[in-house]
Structure 1
Amino acid sequence: MTPPVSRRGVLAGAVATPAALLLAACGTGPATAPPSGVDELTVPTPTPDPVDFVTDVDNPWWPLVGGTARVYADATGRRLRRTVAGAPEQVGGVPATGVRTEAVAATWGTRALPPERTAWFAQDRRRNVWLVGGTLADGSRWEAGRDGAEAGLVVTGVPRVGDGYVRLSVPRLAGERVRVQEVGELAPVAGQELEVLLLEVTTDGPARDEGRPRAARRGEELLARGVGLARFEEPGSTWTLLGP
């Protein structure tokens, strides 16, 4: 049985009419998505309510176990390591788990290493996972509720094909919107056949570049049940999980 959830936080009351979910992309006017499984959520939200959140992140599509490290490779052999922090901390007013991404220097040769970065994720009582903070290129940190940054949705507790929502809404960063393309298909992931969740990711912005709208970039992410992020795209590279 799903426990009751505060109406003051990210989980709003049921929608009375089938109104479209507002996707307020960073710095732009709102876009819309058809009604779906995320209709009861306020996405993005500037003020996550601690009453709505739990300490662990155990959504099967985005499980974060403290101390876990996974390595991803691109087609050129470069590698990235993503490491889950050992304990949650308060970010954006809620308990959040940090995931640090860093280059495996020995695999990059003479190419410039990307900066180390951290993202903080929090899970509400319905097992929806939210992005509530992160680091910027200059090493500074953003958190939901500060300087216009808002918490975005990473994955719902029960994903459905057609779900659409904002994942990243931070004034100094490009906005990200996500739409669920497939749920539950079997695919090879790090030598195993696993159920997967396919997401389309649209990146906008920043909203304006020298007074002109920035074009959106589309990519895909693959999440595997019980594993989490199995494949993701960045400009110029696709990163694939090497092992469980």
Structure 2
Amino acid sequence: MRRRATAAIAALSLAGVTLAGCGSASAPSPPTGVDGLVIPTPDPAAADFVARVDNPWLPLAVGSRWSYADRVSGAPAFTLTVEPGPSVAGVATTTLVRTNADGSLVRDHFAQDRAGNVWWFGREGEWRAGADGAEAGLAMPAAPRFGDGFRTSSAPGRSEVATVAEVGAETRTPLATYRRTVRLEIEDAAGSRDETYARGVGLVRTDEAGLVAYDEAR
């Protein structure tokens, strides 16, 4: 994976990096997370990636399962499960399978680099890094900071950008209350949405659904 000396948050102009926590002023954040990365990455090298995705904000151990319910009605919304993934652009991936309430499936492929950053390598049937001009985007930095921004995907006809909107805010779900959290604001052609991740658990809340069960792979 090519790296540059400056932070590669292409096409974004984000001034919020000098803030941290729940919007309170603080000293500038030290270099971590997206600094020095080319995002999206046009030429991933297999040697830059590891076999497991164990980023604390987006842990993807094969066999893990998350279940979510609608935040208004309480009805089942979707489940997430993890399975071994295919090789994409020469990189071995881990696949996160979303099963919606209507039974439809979405399979997304991820891989983690040696620094702990998780990259999104494609969505089955829609796009795949290295094919037709698509490139792997950053799904979750190793150390997300308030104000960081990055492209999560880049493919012809689609582009998605995430911003770290909040760090450390208390987040309540039907399963538990979490205090070590990261909230991402994600924008694509369809609009914007929020996703909240808890350290050691992963995704715990979206705009529409909250976590009701988590079965970690043993």
Does the CA contact (< 8 Å) of 1:20 and 1:32 recur in 2? Answer: no
Q: Match of 2:209?
A: 239
Q: Match of 1:79?
A: 77
Tell me which amino acid in the other structure corresponds to 1:91.
V
Would the alpha carbon gap of residues 84 and 46 (structure 1) be closer, same or farther in structure 2, given more than 3 Å must change? same
Tell me which amino acid in the other structure corresponds to 2:154.
S
Gaps of at least 5 residues in structure 2 are 18-32
CA displacement, residues 82-107 of structure 1 (integer Å, 9 cap, x when unaligned): 1100x343122212100111124xxx
Does the CA contact (< 8 Å) of 1:96 and 1:122 recur in 2? Answer: yes
Gaps of at least 5 residues in structure 1 are 1-8, 23-30, 105-112, 206-216
TM-score by length of 1: 0.73
CA separation in 2, counterparts of 1:71 and 1:219? 19
Does the CA contact (< 8 Å) of 2:178 and 2:198 recur in 1? Answer: no
Tell me which amino acid in the other structure corresponds to 2:131.
R
Q: Which has the higher contact order (CA 8 A, sep 6+)?
A: 2
Within 5 Å, give how 1:32-51 maps onto structure 2. Answer: 32-34=12-14, 37-51=33-47
Q: What CA RMSD, in Å, does the superposition of the two structures yield over aligned residues?
A: 2.1
Q: Match of 1:70?
A: 66
| Equivalent of residue 131 in structure 1, options 100, 105, 120 | 120
Quick check: which has more Rg, 1 or 2?
A: 1
Q: Match of 1:159?
A: 144
TM-score by length of 2: 0.81
% identical aligned pairs = 38
Would the alpha carbon gap of residues 54 and 114 (structure 1) be closer, same or farther in structure 2, given more than 3 Å must change? same
CA separation in 1, counterparts of 2:203 and 2:192? 17
Q: Match of 1:21?
A: 9
